[in-house]
Amino acid sequence: MSHHHKDVRAEGHGEVYEVRNVQIAPGKYRIAGGSFHTDHSNHPIPPKATALHPVSLPSYGGDTQFVDMHAAYDELPEATKRRIDGLRALHVVESKFSPRKLKPLDEKSRAELPPPTRHPLVRVHPENGRKALYMNPVRIEAIDGMSESQALALVGELLAHATQKKYEYRHQWRYGDMLIWDNRSVMHQANGDYDMSELRHLHRIMIKGEPVIPAAEASTGEGMKLAKSFVSQTPYAQGRRPFFRYRDLGVEAASGGRMRAYHNTCIKGMTEPTGWHYHDCEMQFVYVLKGSLAIEFEDGTVGTFTAGDSFFVPGGVRHNEIYVSEDKETLEVSIPGKIGTVNVERPDGLPEKLREVSNERS
Ligand SMILES: [Fe+2]
Ligand SMILES: [Fe+2]
């Protein structure tokens, strides 16, 4: 993703921005990123990640600090969470309340700025589903529905909470380091605690993000609708594997893709194991309606499941479906709706013979 200052680029590398301490008046220096912030939050689609690599480091100091905005959110009082979950903040390139003065933009850079943009104060991480404070005291100009003084007080209060030492990781730079962080999860700041006559120079790139997911939307279920599924209107479709058919129970469409529910059945008994794999998803739940299936799990067990049995598999847990009866029918639920499958080797360290668990034996 492109950086604001079009004139500050590593030579020959248009996507690499140069971070340096600069003397702006005798004895006065500007430290890029010298107070807690998240990168380029004035963009409608802010960068998901930023990477830094040191070129020249001062002999001491100049660490970068990060604070965990998921943990900070989680530990807020419930009343505060309710108060802020639905709030939206206006982000501009440089807020009139910014704790530091930013480098002025040249004409070309200014012309390419996006218009001020609104982001939720609490966002949902698209990959782990956790809420995080999405704050940037440098760029937040206003909060919808609040007076200036209320907004300032709230930002101040949240900032004081989020920048406590218990949420912090402090990185002491060494040559050869390359740090990449998730702007959806952390705020960061550079430290101006070194001898300013020494150069602190780093290369920066930013990685394009996706639209910010508001917490309020996720919790109130905006984009979701009531769904009803009737047998006569949900025909079987051909599954990912040739011996499966499934009925889509309409949950994926109704939940805006957050969850999926399928009624799965067999066309004929499985002829060979699926092989060890895991699913690229948050979680999966299977309830057996009819017939039976046997699955090996990475915890060293092999489970036989018959009508009324079920299992829950967090994303990433390796398993191997070794047997399916011809009359098998299951209800399968996944979060999110779309799940990927990654084939892997049989996990190291598993005994030759796995421990059998079933309705009769566990
Ligand atoms: Fe930054
Ligand atoms: Fe599977």
- Residues 261-299: tens digit of each pLDDT: 999 988 775 567 889 999 878 899 999 999 999 999 999
Ligand number, closest to the Cα atom of 321: 2
- Percent of the chain scoring above 70 in pLDDT: 96
Residue 6, domain member (yes or no): no
pLDDT at 104 over 90: no
Query: What pLDDT sits at residue 137?
Result: 95
Please give the full DSSP string across 296-348, using - where no structure is assigned.
EETTSEEEEEETT-EEEEETT--EEEEEE-TT-EEEEEEESS--EEEE-PPPT
Looking at the fold, whether 246 and 348 belong to one and the same domain comes out as yes
Judged by its nearest atom, the ligand closest to the C-alpha of residue 102 is 1
Same domain? 170 vs 25: yes
Give the SS3 label for residue 71. helix
Distance 185 CA to ligand 1 centre (A): 13
- State the Cα–Cα distance between residues 181 and 137, nearest whole angstrom: 19
Q: How far is the CA of 208 from the centre of ligand 1 (A)?
A: 14
- pLDDT value, residue 269: 59
User: What pLDDT sits at residue 101?
Assistant: 87
CATH number where 56 lies: 3.60.130.10
Closest CA to 41 of 129, 125, 107, 121: 121
Q: pLDDT digits over 27-55, tens only?
A: 888 888 889 999 999 998 999 999 999 99
44 and 185 part of one domain:
yes
Name which residue leads in pLDDT, 316 or 67: 67
Residue 268 or 310, more confident = 310
Domain identity same for 268 and 122: no
Contact indicator for 184, 48 with CB cutoff of 8 Å? yes
Q: Are residues 209 and 263 in the same domain?
A: no
187 and 90 within one domain? yes
Is it the case that residue 362 has pLDDT exceeding 70?
Answer: no
Per-residue pLDDT for 128 more than 60?
yes
Query: Residue 334 belongs to what domain range?
Result: 231-358
Average pLDDT over residues 180-194: 95
**Residues 103 and 178 both lie in one domain:** yes
The set of catalytic residues is: 37, 39, 188, 204
| C-alpha 235 to ligand 2 mean position (Å) | 23
Tell me: do 171 and 245 sit in the same domain.
Answer: no
Residue range 58-72: average pLDDT?
A: 96
CATH of the domain at 348: 2.60.120.10
What's the domain count of the chain? 2
Average pLDDT score over residue span 325-349: 89
Q: Which of 114-118, 223-227, 288-292, 343-347 has the lowest mean pLDDT?
A: 223-227
Of all ligands present, the nearest one to the C-alpha of 339 is: 2
Do 263 and 329 form a contact (C-beta atoms < 8 A)? yes
Do 145 and 186 have their domain in common? yes
Average per-residue pLDDT in the chain? 90
Instruction: Read off the pLDDT band of 221 (50, 70, 90).
Output: low
